[in-house]
Amino acid sequence: MAIGAMTPPPASEATTETLVEFPDNRLLIDLCGEYDRNLADIEQKVGVQILRRGNQLAIHGEEAARAEAQDVLAALYARLETGKSVESGDIDREIRMGGSETGTGARDGDQLEMFRGGTVEIKTRKKLVEPRTEAQKAYVLSLFNNELAFGIGPAGTGKTYLAVAVGVSMFIQGHVDRIILSRPAVEAGEKLGYLPGDMKDKVDPYMQPLYDALNDFLPGKQLAKLIEEKRIEIAPLAFMRGRTLANAFVVLDEAQNATTMQMKMFLTRLGEGSRMVITGDRSQIDLPRGVPSGLRDAERLLGKVGGISFNYFTARDVVRHPLVAAIIEAYDADAQRAMADRSKGA
């Protein structure tokens, strides 16, 4: 990265302005974005004002905010120097990660060996996927380093999306022969009645989020061929009974809706050369009243078993619309107040 040293500001502006010089004007244009929308995004999220002056950017605001904005701009400029683009998600990631993803890292070769001292990237056929929070980064590393990993947290934190991305990456690099994605076919609080069609037609609505993720990572024709050849399988949890899943990357999504017996059945499918990921949200259990969640039991029973990693997410890791994080925090706060009220009543 070739960012010039800060130019000392006039004495009257010494406490409110930081000047940063960028030597390549073409990269600076990409850094600013169309109609300076990238700068506007950083201004809003960090709380600064950024002005363009030739090949310099003047950052105005409080000292801590200016330092943060400078780190973010430096990280994004370094990204452009490697030939990558800068989008809104990249800005969000650099702000959340505090500019910690600016290392060069390995860009080619086996991804199982690439994460030492550099960026964390997941290569798929259609896009390069990068974690946007520290919790996501730790989660991705655990997926590559552990044969069995759990991802637990609220909706919108990337649990399933990242797991499928890692599965696709390991598949195209030859580490596994198959990808198997599964979910419990449990209705979310409403009865849909009998669905028309054959078995695939009946279960596909429950599996759609998994298809959506795969479509982000693999070209449509290739995905259709792999599904036809059974090298990628998407099936309800009930279909896993009696199988041994060898040389496969296996994902169980919405695991909070698996019963204790279903969870035990699924976990014991793990075969030689396979990796398994269990994702779920304990706040969205749709099982009938009185039926315990297999995800909670797995946490209790397997928390201290070696070789199994548990990764937790919070509302701070939500990467959907910012309102999603606010909604989750509001519901969590209400649940905590209700718990406190019950404790006082007891």
Query: pLDDT tens-digit profile of 15-30?
Result: 578 898 998 889 999 9
Residues whose CB is less than 8 angstroms from the CB of residue 336 and which lie 6 or more positions away in sequence, other chains included: none
pLDDT tens digit sequence for 248-268: 999 999 999 999 999 999 999
For the chain, the average pLDDT equals 83
pLDDT band at 118 (very low <50, low <70, confident <90, very high): low
Give the 3-state DSSP-derived string for 191-213, with helices as H, strands as E and coil as C.
CCCCCCCCHHHHHHHHHHHHHHH
Q: Tokens standing for 244?
A: 């041994």
Stated as kind and residue range, the H or E segment containing 248 is: strand 248-252
What does the pLDDT read at residue 107?
Answer: 38
**Residues 266 and 235 sit within 8 Å (Cβ to Cβ):** no
Task: Tell me the residue type at 78.
Answer: A
Count of Cβ atoms closer than 10 Å to residue 190 Cβ = 7
Which whole number is the average pLDDT over 205-229?
90
Alpha carbons 39 and 51: distance in angstroms, whole number: 9
Q: Tokens standing for 220?
A: 């449509």
Phi/psi at 330 (nearest 5 deg)?
Answer: -65, -45
Task: Tell me the residue type at 63.
Answer: E
Higher pLDDT, 203 or 55: 55
Count of Cβ atoms closer than 10 Å to residue 10 Cβ = 7
pLDDT tens digit sequence for 169-209: 999 999 999 999 998 876 544 444 555 555 566 667 778 88
Long-range contacts (CB closer than 8 Å, 24 or more residues apart) made by 127-130: 127/216, 127/217, 128/84, 129/161, 129/162, 129/165, 129/217, 130/90, 130/93, 130/101
| Whether residue 106 has pLDDT greater than 50 | no
Of 328, 312, 311, give the one whose Cα is nearest residue 320: 328
What does the pLDDT read at residue 177?
Answer: 95
**Residues 203 and 193 sit within 8 Å (Cβ to Cβ):** no
Domains, in order of start, for the chain: 11-97 (3.30.1370.10), 111-313 (3.40.50.300)
User: Which pTM does this prediction carry?
Assistant: 0.73
Task: Tell me the residue type at 52.
Answer: R
Helical segments of the chain, H only? 25-32, 37-46, 63-81, 88-97, 134-145, 159-172, 199-217, 220-228, 260-267, 294-302, 322-345
Alpha carbons 18 and 6: distance in angstroms, whole number: 7
Higher pLDDT, 60 or 88: 60
HSE-CB at 82 with a 13 A cutoff on CA atoms is 17
Higher pLDDT, 252 or 53: 252
Which whole number is the average pLDDT over 86-91?
84
Of 132, 38, 135, 55, give the one whose Cα is nearest residue 94: 132
Q: Tokens standing for 25?
A: 């004007």
| Whether residue 139 has pLDDT greater than 80 | yes
Higher pLDDT, 144 or 110: 144
Which whole number is the average pLDDT over 228-238?
91
